[in-house]
Amino acid sequence: MPHYRSIFISDLHLGSKGCQAEALCVFMKEHTSEQLYLVGDIIDGWRLRKKWYWPQSHTNVVRRILTAAKRGTDVTYIIGNHDEFLRGFMKFRLMFGDIAVKNRAVHQGRDGKRYLVVHGDMFDGLMRTDRKWIMHLGDSAYNLLLSLNTKLNAVRRRLGLDYWSLSKTLKSKTKRAMNFIQSFEGHVADYCRRKGFDGAICGHIHVAEQRDIDGIHYRNTGDWVESCTALVEHFDGRWEILHFAPHAAVIRDRIEYGLAEPTPTGLVPAE
């Protein structure tokens, strides 16, 4: 019996060093569903164009997804801005095995609501053609922050401390960033209202959230770079945002497979 009716995850950014691939593999092993929506920015084409980076852990994520589809999970891949290169193949009715690839989808919730499932870059003013250079510049700065964050958390892991996101903390304390998030959420709600949707499920801004915006049910999946979050729909119609602890997940998985042994400060390689 699957754990959930539906799971929505976005912004994996496979192909970038910031991707929490090992933790995601553990999450997908421990959380199953009838439907799985990959809500954009699954593969980071922007990063891969600049420098190729694809470790085994990223291949393992792809295998997990394909295995889920093979075992009966209905998997839908929604294209985002970082994997927008796939949009050029949409006219060929693109499929990855049993996985359907779309620009958007409509999810009929157990709660009776109709949800627009879309990555969300269409609601971001910086994605306009004349402003896209700003987005690419910001992406480079963001990846620098993630690089620093990775080194910082390597030290924290050795000290037995929990994962901590530098970029997420800066975002939450910056008024301009908060204004952008609120503007983005408002645009999503306005669009759903005009098009007759009861709500929206999206990603893009790396901020997991679910709330009511003037009668529109706004739900954001978060990301697997900073937050390690997923949106899940229970069989009774309840919605929940799951916050996954990447350090604890990887340690638990390595211990299970005999690759490490528990210690007071984390893990050491097994003999």
User: What does the pLDDT look like over 146-191, one tens digit per residue?
Assistant: 666 666 666 666 766 666 665 666 555 554 555 667 788 999 999 9
Transcribe 118-160 into DSSP letters.
E-SGGG-GGGSGGGHHHHHHHHHHHHHHHHHHHHHHHHHHHTT
Least confident stretch, 62-66, 72-76, 178-182: 178-182
DSSP H or E run through 25: helix 21-30
Higher pLDDT, 156 or 238: 238
Q: Alpha-carbon distance 78 to 121, whole Å?
A: 11
Structure tokens at 183: 């503007």
78, 105 in Cβ contact below 8 A? yes
Kindly provide the b/e burial profile for residues 167-188, where b requires at least 16 CB atoms within 10 angstroms of the residue's own CB: bbeebeeeeeeeebbeebbeeb
Please report where in the chains the tokens 């499932």 appear, as a residue: 117
pLDDT at 126 over 60: no
C-beta neighbour count of 258 within 10 angstroms = 9
Q: Alpha-carbon distance 268 to 266, whole Å?
A: 7
Please report where in the chains the tokens 């900073």 appear, as a residue: 226
Half-sphere exposure of 96 (CA within 13 A, CB side): 18
Half-sphere exposure of 266 (CA within 13 A, CB side): 16
User: What does the pLDDT look like over 94-112, one tens digit per residue?
Assistant: 777 789 899 999 999 999 9
Domains of the chain: 4-269 (3.60.21.10)
Higher pLDDT, 49 or 260: 49
Query: What 3-state DSSP class applies to 1?
Result: coil
Its pTM stands at 0.77
Q: Name the maximum alpha-carbon separation found in the chain.
A: 61
Q: What is the DSSP letter of 254?
A: H
**Start-end of H helices in 159-260:** 166-173, 175-195, 246-256
Q: Alpha-carbon distance 33 to 119, whole Å?
A: 20
